[in-house]
Amino acid sequence: MFPVRYALLALVLTALVLPAAAAATSNEGYLGVDRVAITMDGADAEVRMDYHLDGGMRILIFLVGTGDLEQKVKRVLNFEGARVEEIDTSHAIVRVEDAAIDYGDGTYWFPEHRFRVTVPLVTVKTPQYTQAFRNTLLTPRGIGYYLV
């Protein structure tokens, strides 16, 4: 119990210092986004977000758990109903059901999607091709694809 108090105190102190770090457009508090890779699987999507953590946050996450980190990842990705399947101090894998519109004949439409921060590199992979977007808040125009 005693070390947890110190960890919580350090977390509070870090939160007071972090607004300066959050000024970077690819940051959500102590979480700095490096890249997002979206792989379409029918109407569902698997989203991998690679990131880095500011300062001593790795130690705090080790001590107090990944609950806050999971919330930050979900907030940044901004997908309704996203479910974190895997998370650590460098990446998260998130599953999003019905991320695309299913037209029922094997064709799908992944609509424009907006993130909560500017992402240095976003890739969207469909069965036909991969599109890349750099320094973006969104995947513009939407992407149509079909299952082979």
Give the pTM: 0.82
Please determine, for residue 9, whether its predicted confidence score (pLDDT) is greater than 50. Answer: no
**For 33-46, what is each residue's pLDDT tens digit?**
999 999 999 999 99
Closest-CA residue to 33 (of 131, 111, 113, 136): 136
Sequence-distant contacts of 64-68: CB under 8 A, at least 24 apart: 64/4, 64/7, 64/8, 64/11
Closest-CA residue to 74 (of 96, 98, 56, 101): 96
**For 121-141, what is each residue's pLDDT tens digit?**
999 999 999 999 999 999 998
Q: Do residues 143 and 110 touch, judged by C-beta distance below 8 A?
A: yes
